[in-house]
Structure 1
Amino acid sequence: MDLVVKSVAAVSVKTATLVLGVGEGRLLGAQAKAIDEASNGAISAVLKRGDLAGKPGQTLLLQALPGLKAERVLLVGTGNDQALNDRNWRKVVNGVAGVLKGLGGTDATLVLEDIAVEGRDGHYGKYRLLAETLLSGAYVFDRFKSQKAEPRALKKITLLTSQAGQAEVERGVKHATAISAGMALTRDLGNLPPNLCHPSFLAEQAKDMGKAHKNLKVEVLDEKKIKDLGMGAFYAVGQGSDQPPRLIVMNYQGAKKSEKPYVLVGKGITFDTGGISLKPGAGMDEMKYDMCGAASVFGTLQAVLALQLPINLVCLLACAENMPSGGATRPGDIVTTMSGQTVEILNTDAEGRLVLCDTLTYAERFKPQAVIDIATLTGACIVALGSHTTGLLGNDDALLSQLLDAGKRADDRAWQLPLFEEYQEQLDSPFADIANIGGPKAGTITAACFLSRFAKQYHWAHMDIAGTAWISGGKEKGATGRPVPLLTQYLLDRAGA
């Protein structure tokens, strides 16, 4: 679906569906009033009958109004005269998208410029969120269905704006298009079945991406290289599987070589049985989503490549499959990490931190400006924050503040949890330098405490996306594409774009 930005009078637009906002109390904005006058008051006459209350997202479809070139007019509720928050703005956009999806027209024109959205002064933020909502809502994953989804008639949506706001709307749409494409890639990878999407498959996807972009270099470290580097924790996770582990290194050069890169580290456990500490069978199919950290790094890189941001970015994907077998790691095993620290593995289902800790040590060689790891790491994060908010911890207040701000502006929010020194004591081991679990209390925090011991050489943040990376259960089950919007916003800010 194409999004087009135009600056023309709404009354003159020839379109299959013209979309207008109506506030509570049957209030029409300036643009809608002009359309109403052109139609000899046909819209206000309908509203007087009380068919539309104007609550956010409510819709009313009108056919063949006089005096207009539009075949239909779709009225959408925009709430009271106060600015909408992001959630209600999405309700408005989703209400429109839901109706347009079922119509036969190939195009639609949205006249929503005079709607105020809280915290999104000007045109850029409001229209970017609108565009992301439209594009993400059009996502379909039917690759493995014999009966494909019906092709949608709607091919183009035009966003009308004033000449003064056109450049900012176009910038918002450009960024939204890149972000939505990145989210779609993340969702595709997450939704793939684990018999297809394994570490070697992800490595091939990375190589294909590298071939398509001259300023992206890709290196894949196989299990021998992982072992030779002394990544004992990483290697231990994958040793029970027939699918060998892979460390994927993607190096994007968008700035001078002398400029230090930002580093994104993604947990890529392509299937997590729990290993010898086997998970319960119910819902285990969803453990294919345990690679969504890596998938979100793929998606963010896709957005960066589309926008050709003037930054240097290194993406490290720690990919393995956690399976039980005669060769699998056992509870009680002790492994030596790349950093030289030893780890007593008390639970093989706490495997994400094991692949990440060695990858965080590997990140040191790039002399990064900042390192952010993204992982579906702990069920405890879901208990703490549910499925709406990403957990955020780290060792640098400025970095954490930047990420929190990026999440707020991208409507992809995170919440900071403490990383106090007292929690580190829960990881004490009588036999090794550190245990890989810290007991039942504060599981998200102790997991981050574990990682923090391998991230002391740079500014570091950890994002726990266990609750936000996918929708669990039912017909709506599937990857969400988060936190691609947050990460891309953070990098847009660093690039000054």
Structure 2
Amino acid sequence: MKFSTKTGTPQSLSTDALILGVFESGAQPAATLAADEASNGLIGRLQKQGDFNGKTGSSLIVRHPEGLKAARLILVGLGKADELNSKNWMQANRTALNAVLGTTATDAINTLAAIEVNGLSASARLRQAVVLAGECAYRFDSFKTTPKAQPVKLNAVTVFTAGKATKAMSDAVTEGAAIVEGMNLTRDLGNLPGNICTPTYLANEAKKLAKTFGLKCLILEKAAMEKLGMHSLLAVAKGSDQPPKFIVLEYNAGKKTDKPVVLVGKGITFDTGGISIKPAAEMDEMKYDMCGAASVLGTLRAVAGMKLPINLVVIVPTTENMPGSSATRPGDIVTSMSGQTIEILNTDAEGRLILCDALTYAERFKPAAVVDVATLTGACVVALGQVATGLLGNNDPLVNELRTAGTATMDRAWELPLWDDYQDLLKSPFADMANIGGRWGGTITAACFLSRFTKAYPWAHLDIAGTAWIQGKDKGATGRPVPLLTRFLMARAGKAD
């Protein structure tokens, strides 16, 4: 899909679909007023007649509106003018784009970004409007002989600007388009079934990224991992016939003297739980257990697409977790790359076992900061639902950066405590630590485990178990937290508005 900006008067805009916001009460947006006047009061009449009330979430398609060059008007409700917030504004964008996608329109002009919203700058609204359009237009029906949804005919979205388009505005649209590409990659990888998206498949995708953007790419095989002492990661891989991979990608667009930010993504391409096998219900969703890996690859795609001036390293430890005859047993003890020993009490707590070796490996880059991203604990879903990502870390400024980035993109994260009091729950009588801490505070004790491998640098952990995918009849990967991570890196590179 192509994205661009455009200015002018609504009545002069030639398009298949012109999106206009309508308030339930209060002064109407400037673009809506202008279109209403040019169409001899069409919008006002629709409201007076009760055909369209402007309530949040409502929409109406008007074909061949008098006095306008647009083939269709897409009227979308904004609610009361004095109650407009970022949530309602985003909902209006989604409602409008979904209405357009239900037509045969091949292009659309969206005027909603010209409406002032508390907490969102002009550039942020432009960027977000692009991201929301990409989010709504996304489809994953590669494996259906008959697509489950109407094919997307919309191939161009123009974001209307009230005044003359500036470089900052065009940059915001370019950035939004790059984030869409990153989210699409993340969603595609997440939605692929486990028999296709294997560790080898992820490694090949990494190679494609490297070739496209001129990145350094290193794929470590099992023998190299053994030589490095990654016995914690390899313990998870023992039950699978699929060979594990350890993926390292380097994007160097910052100063040579700048320390890199390192993103580590959990890449369990299918998680049965191993010997501690999961219940059968909804186990198909465990193909999403590599969404941490998918999101850091998607973030790299976005960063490279917008040519962000920063040094970034992406690390993906990836394997299946299967209950084969060679699988690790509960009670087994392994030695991690750091030299610390781990008693594996539950083989379904495998994500932390592959991440800990990756976090140790990250030390060699002398990083400015390390952020790991993982569908790590069901406890996080219980605590925060599917609204917020869990956030913990050993460095308050870094944690605050990530929380701020999440708020700015509505890809929110919420901090949980990482107090030493919880560390005692990981005690083992036979090893340096156990890989689980018991029933209570599961998200926190998982992060406590990871924190033992992050003493050398500022570190934060994002638990995306509740936000990486949605369940139900429309289940699928969300692309989160690509917007959060990209905004965080934009701010680090001095490019956030």
Counterpart pick for 2:475 among 453, 466, 477? 477
Residues 176-195 of structure 1: pairs in structure 2 closer than 5 A = 176-195=176-195
Does the 8 Å contact 2:251/2:312 carry over to 1?
A: yes
Q: Secondary structure at the match of 2:266?
A: strand
Q: Secondary structure at the match of 1:91?
A: helix
CA offsets 1:306-353 (integer angstroms, 9 cap, x no match): 011111111110101111122111111111111111111111111111
Shift of 1:280: 0.9
Provide structure 2 residue ranges, at least 5 long, that are not aligned to the other structure: none
Shift of 1:9: 1.7
Residues 382-397 of structure 1: pairs in structure 2 closer than 5 A = 382-397=381-396
Distance in 2 between residues matched to 1:90 and 1:297, nearest whole Å: 24
Aligned match of 1:106: 106
Aligned match of 2:32: 32
Shift of 1:65: 2.9
Shift of 1:103: 1.8
Residues 137-148 of structure 1: pairs in structure 2 closer than 5 A = 137-148=136-147
Distance in 2 between residues matched to 1:237 and 1:361, nearest whole Å: 17
Does the 8 Å contact 2:266/2:290 carry over to 1?
A: yes
Distance in 1 between residues matched to 2:338 and 2:420, nearest whole Å: 20
Shift of 1:164: 4.2
Distance in 2 between residues matched to 1:372 and 1:356, nearest whole Å: 11
TM-score of the pair, normalised by structure 1: 0.96
Provide structure 1 residue ranges, at least 5 long, that are not aligned to the other structure: none
Aligned match of 1:60: 60
Tell which deviates more after alignment, 463-472 or 105-114: 105-114
Tell which deviates more after alignment, 137-146 or 150-159: 150-159
Does the 8 Å contact 2:26/2:80 carry over to 1?
A: no
Which ranges of 4 or more aligned residues in structure 1 deviate by more than 6 Å? none
Shift of 1:171: 2.2
Distance in 1 between residues matched to 2:413 and 2:308, nearest whole Å: 24
Report whether the alignment pairs 1:14 with 2:23.
Answer: no
Aligned match of 2:436: 437
Does the 8 Å contact 2:26/2:82 carry over to 1?
A: no
Distance in 2 between residues matched to 1:386 and 1:445, nearest whole Å: 16
Distance in 2 between residues matched to 1:114 and 1:375, nearest whole Å: 36
Q: Secondary structure at the match of 2:247?
A: strand
Distance in 1 between residues matched to 2:212 and 2:73, nearest whole Å: 43
Distance in 2 between residues matched to 1:325 and 1:113, nearest whole Å: 53
Report whether the alignment pairs 1:42 with 2:42.
Answer: yes
Distance in 2 between residues matched to 1:75 and 1:316, nearest whole Å: 45
Shift of 1:166: 4.0
Report whether the alignment pairs 1:316 with 2:315.
Answer: yes
Aligned match of 2:278: 279
Aligned letter for 1:437? I
Report whether the alignment pairs 1:256 with 2:255.
Answer: yes
Residues 412-431 of structure 1: pairs in structure 2 closer than 5 A = 412-431=411-430
**Cα distance change, pair 114–313 in 1 and its aligned pair in 2 (3 A):** closer
Shift of 1:211: 1.6
Does the 8 Å contact 1:83/1:117 carry over to 2?
A: no
Does the 8 Å contact 2:289/2:375 carry over to 1?
A: yes
Residues 281-300 of structure 1: pairs in structure 2 closer than 5 A = 281-300=280-299
Distance in 1 between residues matched to 2:43 and 2:331, nearest whole Å: 72
Does the 8 Å contact 2:114/2:160 carry over to 1?
A: no
Aligned match of 1:207: 207
Does the 8 Å contact 1:78/1:115 carry over to 2?
A: no
Distance in 1 between residues matched to 2:18 and 2:248, nearest whole Å: 47
Distance in 1 between residues matched to 2:113 and 2:226, nearest whole Å: 57
**Cα distance change, pair 113–252 in 1 and its aligned pair in 2 (3 A):** closer
Distance in 2 between residues matched to 1:296 and 1:114, nearest whole Å: 30
Q: Secondary structure at the match of 1:269?
A: strand
CA offsets 1:344-370 (integer angstroms, 9 cap, x no match): 111111111111111111110000000
Distance in 1 between residues matched to 2:313 and 2:30, nearest whole Å: 48
CA offsets 1:403-450 (integer angstroms, 9 cap, x no match): 000000011000000011110000010011111111101010001000
Distance in 2 between residues matched to 1:238 and 1:448, nearest whole Å: 22
Distance in 2 between residues matched to 1:125 and 1:83, nearest whole Å: 19
Does the 8 Å contact 1:419/1:449 carry over to 2?
A: yes
Distance in 1 between residues matched to 2:170 and 2:104, nearest whole Å: 27
Distance in 2 between residues matched to 1:304 and 1:108, nearest whole Å: 27
Aligned match of 2:163: 163
Q: Secondary structure at the match of 1:65?
A: coil
Aligned match of 1:494: 492
TM-score of the pair, normalised by structure 2: 0.96
Q: Secondary structure at the match of 1:276?
A: coil
Shift of 1:14: 2.0
Does the 8 Å contact 1:15/1:108 carry over to 2?
A: yes
Distance in 1 between residues matched to 2:161 and 2:28, nearest whole Å: 17
Q: Percent identity?
A: 55
Does the 8 Å contact 2:114/2:162 carry over to 1?
A: no
Aligned letter for 1:159? V
Distance in 1 between residues matched to 2:347 and 2:104, nearest whole Å: 53
Tell which deviates more after alignment, 61-70 or 7-16: 61-70
Aligned letter for 1:73? L
Distance in 2 between residues matched to 1:390 and 1:31, nearest whole Å: 36
Shift of 1:28: 2.7
Shift of 1:18: 2.1
Q: Secondary structure at the match of 1:28?
A: coil
**Cα distance change, pair 436–301 in 1 and its aligned pair in 2 (3 A):** same
CA offsets 1:124-174 (integer angstroms, 9 cap, x no match): 111211211111110000111112354333222222213345433322211
Q: Secondary structure at the match of 2:82?
A: coil
Shift of 1:94: 1.4
Does the 8 Å contact 1:18/1:72 carry over to 2?
A: yes
Residues 299-338 of structure 1: pairs in structure 2 closer than 5 A = 299-338=298-337
Q: Secondary structure at the match of 1:153?
A: coil
Does the 8 Å contact 1:374/1:464 carry over to 2?
A: yes
Shift of 1:112: 2.8
Q: Secondary structure at the match of 1:299?
A: helix
Aligned match of 1:247: 246
Aligned letter for 1:184? N
Shift of 1:281: 1.1
Distance in 1 between residues matched to 2:175 and 2:486, nearest whole Å: 9
Aligned letter for 1:4? S
Distance in 1 between residues matched to 2:298 and 2:449, nearest whole Å: 27
Aligned letter for 2:328? T
Does the 8 Å contact 1:7/1:166 carry over to 2?
A: no
Aligned match of 2:222: 223
